[in-house]
A and B are shown apart, each in its own frame.
Chain A
Amino acid sequence: MTMLPPGADPSLAHGHTAIAEAEYVEVAAGGPLVTAKPRGMLRRGWEVFAESKLALIGLGIVVFMVLFCFIGPLLYHTDQVHTDLSQTLCTPSGKHPLGCDPVGYDVLGRLMIGGQTSLEVGFAAAIVSVLIGTLYGAISGFVGGTFDSLLMRIVDAGLSIPYIMVIIILSVIFHPSPAIMIFIIAAFYWLGVARLVRGETLTLRTREYVQAVKVIGGGRLRSVVRHIVPNAIGTIIVQATFAVADSILILSGLGFLGLGVNAPATDWGSMLSGGLQYMQGGNYWWLIYPAGLAIIITCIAFNFIGDALRDAFETRLQRR
């Protein structure tokens, strides 16, 4: 599980974007523009994104995984609540395409409900950590001075603690449900986001349009929420994409250690924790490959999307 050391990532510098330009012109003209629609940053980003084959493959995989996990159980009915010891470790067959696990759950069906937990926690942890990290980083960078130094030392302190150790301790303390799991993972992940967004804010706050907000009497909150955050949105979205992959990996690690969600609920990592004990006993490939590949493929897909988004938002690379 390689979580990028936060701060090692080169921050992306964005130009004065079309969104802000359009707003400015609109205000000056006193009405909507009649000329061609301004191409917003998001729209331009999408065009570059759509040109990347890997990005579309990644997006396709994510859509497939979501459908597989959330629509799949409606079409493929299995009992994922009651164990069935007569079916323990049954080999793959027509009735059980991917066999059964050590307590008789159908592995294909289990892959679906396990994926629900993994994807839900992954998305939610990413959203929570990106929201907190963005606000914290933007405010810290915008206010600056001693306040900024203090806030950043707190982030440094958090990042110095090997995250996996505290996450393990918190899981032991709280016997987490998926909802608590989201906050345990986010409790650490937001730190890296905060550092990145703060770096971005430092370059953005000196821009003329942010200065202009101050001149025309706009408050600090307005500057941060309406001008700095929207212009840092590229960095934020890219980070959010990687955050989903990392959260899924962290959750799978906890599940593997037996500290994940409680049975009969499961996630892809917890499914692997069972497989380990039976590996010595014979070739039970269906206990490790399906769940392991599901994790890898999903995370690769998010990394593809993240990389393509990074290129898309990197305005320096764009044709203007």
Chain B
Amino acid sequence: MVGYIVRRTLQALIVTFLVTLFTLLLVHLLPGGPIRGLLGPRATPAQIAYYDHIYGFDRPIWVQYGKWVWQLLHGNLGYSAKNNQTVTSEIAEYMPKTVVLALLGTAVSLIFGIPLGVYQAVKRYTFGDYALTGVSFIGYATPTFFVGLLLVQWFAISLHWFPPFAPNSTTVLGVLAQPQALVLPVLAYAFVLYALWSRYMRSSVMDNLVQDYVRTARAKGASERRVLWGHVFRNSLTAIVTLLGLSLPTLVAGAIFIEVVFNYPGMGLAFFNAAQNFDFETLLGFTIIATLATIIGNLLADIGYAVLDPRVRYS
């Protein structure tokens, strides 16, 4: 087990190295280099050379990389000249709110996705199964932002049940204080994820139902209920653990679109605004944080999977 964790952590470190390298290269993809991005199209070559020197962009790439990683390790993600604040403080301001949205959305989608996936597997090829499969197909094929638009159109503008905009507050408590306004963003977020969980739960339960251990359990006289929830369900759940780790990029993408549609003041909206303002320090800082979160998420999911399923450890 320890060996597996060490091996897996080493892999994650290599991946982290590659990712940071790639992100640094992205800075140099900017037309005219990062300083032109900062100073705008009318900067003279002399000015650019001057600031290149100050910022150290005229040094060899590995020196830049070393300095950049050193700063990263000290929590310095850069400085947003457009917003006049450090990227770290931006993240501290916006991230908690996005985490709230993502947690609520994921929780709601799991609450619906897992039981309905099990239901579909047990009642496979019945009308209920086909109907729910249809729902998941729509979930796969609908852009996240369009789900948001439809919810606003139906439940906010036509029916006036909920406000069309998300809570606008600077603090997490302020956001939670307006649960009415949170309903639509969370539902939109959950719908797209629901399709993912229910599809995987369905196929995972169906795979497990034909395993030998199920036959053994039945032969020993276990009730259908015990076979399903005591044996099959627990074994099927391991797939969801891995999937949760793997879907962090999907969660991030969902957050960006939902936050833009509902004007929810989180990292996604801040990221979108930074894209419109060509605020590359913010864009790259957010990207690297989301990426590191994904790597750690994958690592934890793999370790969790190894804890749940002893076979993984020895392969």
Contact = CB atoms under 8 A, between A and B. Distances in A.
Interface of A: 1-5, 7-8, 10, 153-154, 156-166, 168-173, 245, 249, 252-253, 256-259, 269, 272, 275-276, 279-280, 285, 288, 292, 295-300, 303-304
Interface in B159-217: 164, 192-193, 195-196, 200, 203
Interface string B221-243: 00000000000000000000011
Interface stretch (B46-54, B61-69, B270-278): B270-278
Nearest to B297: A160
A106 B193 CA distance: 35
Interface string B59-89: 0000000000000000000000000000000
Contacts of B193: 2
Interface residues of B, number: 62
A276 B192 CA distance: 20
7 contacts: A1-B145, A158-B22, A161-B291, A162-B287, A165-B290, A292-B149, A296-B146
B246 interface: yes
B250 A169 contact: no
B275 A256 contact: no
Contacts of A2: 139-140, 144, 192-193, 195-196, 250
A157 B247 CA distance: 15
3 closest residue pairs by CB, A with B = A299-B141, A5-B246, A157-B18
A5 B301 CA distance: 13
With a 10 A CB-CB cut-off, give which of A257, A258, A272 has the most chain B CB atoms: A257
Contacts of B138: 296, 300
B294 interface: yes
A108 B141 CA distance: 22
B150 A292 contact: yes
Contact of A276 (B23, B261, B298): B261
Nearest to B239: A8
A285 B271 CA distance: 29
Nearest to B204: A10
Given A2-B195, A5-B250, A300-B137, A161 B29 contact: no
Contacts of A245: 140-141
Contacts of A297: 141
Contacts of B139: 2
Contacts of A163: 249, 253
Given A153-B11, A162-B294, A253-B144, 7 more contacts: A161-B19, A166-B287, A173-B31, A245-B141, A257-B272, A279-B152, A296-B141
Given A8-B242, A299-B140, A259 B15 contact: no
Contacts of A272: 145-146, 149
A277 to B, nearest CB: 11
B96 to A, nearest CB: 18
B252 interface: yes
B84 to A, nearest CB: 20
Contacts of B295: 160
A164 B14 contact: no
B148 to A, nearest CB: 9
